[in-house]
């Protein structure tokens, strides 16, 4: 069976990356491509690398245009996807809806009000198959994605930090109330709109932090994800992202206070127990460290861990491509599970180098 997919927000980075993966997937056929300001444009004006779709015309993002598809993917700013999703659920309840934005990720209305504001929308099935749901290393989110009709794709930063810290929490190796994450982020994570701080003259040759001091919108989502792995204990994280001069990629360096009597062998065993059989998350050999260049263009997350015994902290580092494993690849992976297709179908772990 072939599923027909509509993409709302097709001219943005996330929409374009999703189209790239859908073009190579044998189970999907691309239907309507919609946007807002670029209605009437040929897609080539926005994604010249997507040659098979170059002459497709961008349509308006309306319920009438999107209805009638088997799958509707929403790659829209927060607030926008929630509004149209509510109308789509009423108009075509049988369709599978996938939201690459933030509107259906958070389970707490209070957290939404504090970090986003505006109307709160009910959470959908969370689209991170490898996420631990409890302290059991076998208890993962992919079981909930089987047959799901509404999928919320995680935030890209959230995926990196969750994969880095969850195994340590589940094994009781680290305390959940003293987590720190500092991220190096490529500029595509900020979207495609023109912003002065993203100009080449501003970003090349420099690095700069943003959303400093506990205000980044991904913080409640990270804490929400890690709560299950922490056995329900309260999770607190200090999260600081940094823009660096690369277009894609996230390198998340995470640390946490060690529990008493933790040994290096315990750490290695805990992470192997969680990730040994994962097709898209790799625990690197000892002594090898994740690099964003190794994940470029691939649906992979690379993880490494070490003990800082002098400081009494665990160091866990995760690298991934924010547009692939951080967004579009996660959407396709989750759709595969929801539709009963092989989880790896249409996805690749082969990166691009140099």
Tokens of 242: 């940094």
User: Do 3-153+325-339 and 157-322 agree at the fold level?
Assistant: no
The confidence score (pLDDT) of residue 93 equals 94
The CATH code of the domain at 157-322 is 3.30.360.10
**What confidence score (pLDDT) does residue 240 get?**
98
- Phi/psi region, residue 79 (left: phi>0; alpha: psi -120 to 50; beta: rest), is left
Segment 21-48 shows an average pLDDT of 97
Distance, in Å, from the CA atom of 304 to the CA atom of 282, rounded to the nearest integer, reads 9
Strand 28-35's sheet: what is its strand order? 59-60, 28-35, 3-8, 71-74, 96-99, 150-152, 125-126
- Per-residue pLDDT tens for 123-169? 999 999 999 999 999 999 999 999 999 999 999 999 999 999 999 99
Quick: pLDDT tens for 59-69. Answer: 999 999 999 99
* Extents of the domains making up the chain: 3-153+325-339, 157-322
Residue 198 clears pLDDT 90, i.e. is over it: no
Residues in the chain, overall count: 354
Position 194 scores a pLDDT of 67
- Report the topology of domain 3-153+325-339: Rossmann fold (3.40.50)
Predicted pLDDT of residue 201: 77
Q: Which residues are catalytic?
A: 156
**pLDDT above 80 for 196:** no
Q: Which residues, 6 or more positions from 282, have their beta carbon under 8 angstroms from its beta carbon?
A: 275, 300, 301, 302, 303
Q: What is the dihedral of CA 34, 36, 40, 41, to 10 degrees?
A: -90
pLDDT value of residue 200: 78
Scanning 78-235, the segments in alpha helix (DSSP H) are: 80-91, 109-115, 142-145, 156-170, 200-203, 219-229
Collapsing DSSP to helix, strand or coil, 18 comes out as helix
pTM: 0.96
Q: Which of 14-28, 55-69, 195-209 has the lowest mean pLDDT?
A: 195-209
The answer on pLDDT for 283 being more than 70 is: yes
């Amino acid at each position: 069976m072939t599923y027909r997919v509509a993409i709302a927000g097709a001219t943005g980075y996330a929409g374009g990356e999703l189209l790239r993966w859908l073009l190579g997937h044998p189970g999907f056929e691309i239907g309507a491509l919609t946007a807002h300001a670029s209605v009437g444009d040929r897609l080539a004006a926005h994604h010249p690398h997507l040659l098979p779709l170059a002459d497709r015309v961008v349509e308006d993002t309306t319920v009438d245009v999107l209805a009638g598809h088997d799958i509707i993917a929403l790659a829209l700013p927060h607030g926008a996807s929630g509004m149209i999703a509510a109308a789509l659920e009423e108009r075509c309840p049988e369709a599978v809806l996938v939201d690459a934005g933030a509107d259906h990720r958070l389970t707490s209305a209070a957290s939404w009000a504090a970090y986003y504001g505006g109307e709160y929308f009910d959470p959908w099935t969370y689209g991170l198959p490898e996420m631990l749901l409890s302290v059991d290393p076998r208890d993962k989110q992919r079981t909930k994605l089987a047959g799901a009709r509404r999928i919320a794709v995680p935030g890209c930063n959230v995926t990196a930090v969750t994969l880095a810290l969850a195994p340590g929490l589940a094994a009781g190796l680290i305390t959940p109330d003293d987590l720190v994450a500092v991220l190096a982020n490529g500029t595509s994570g900020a979207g495609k709109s023109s912003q002065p701080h993203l100009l080449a003259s501003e970003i090349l040759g420099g690095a700069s932090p943003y959303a400093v001091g506990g205000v980044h919108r991904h913080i409640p989502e990270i804490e929400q994800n890690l709560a299950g792995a922490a056995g329900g204990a309260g999770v607190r994280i200090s999260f600081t992202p940094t823009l660096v001069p690369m277009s894609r990629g996230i390198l998340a360096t995470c640390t946490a206070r060690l529990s008493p009597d933790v040994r290096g062998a315990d750490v290695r065993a805990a992470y192997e127990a969680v990730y040994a059989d994962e097709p898209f998350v790799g625990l690197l050999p000892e002594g090898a460290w994740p690099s964003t260049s190794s994940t470029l263009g691939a649906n992979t997350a690379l993880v490494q861990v070490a003990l800082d015994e002098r400081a009494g902290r665990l160091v866990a580092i995760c690298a991934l491509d924010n547009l692939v494993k951080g967004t579009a690849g996660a959407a396709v992976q989750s759709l595969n599970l929801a539709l009963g297709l092989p989880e790896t179908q249409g996805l690749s772990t082969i990166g691009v180098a140099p």
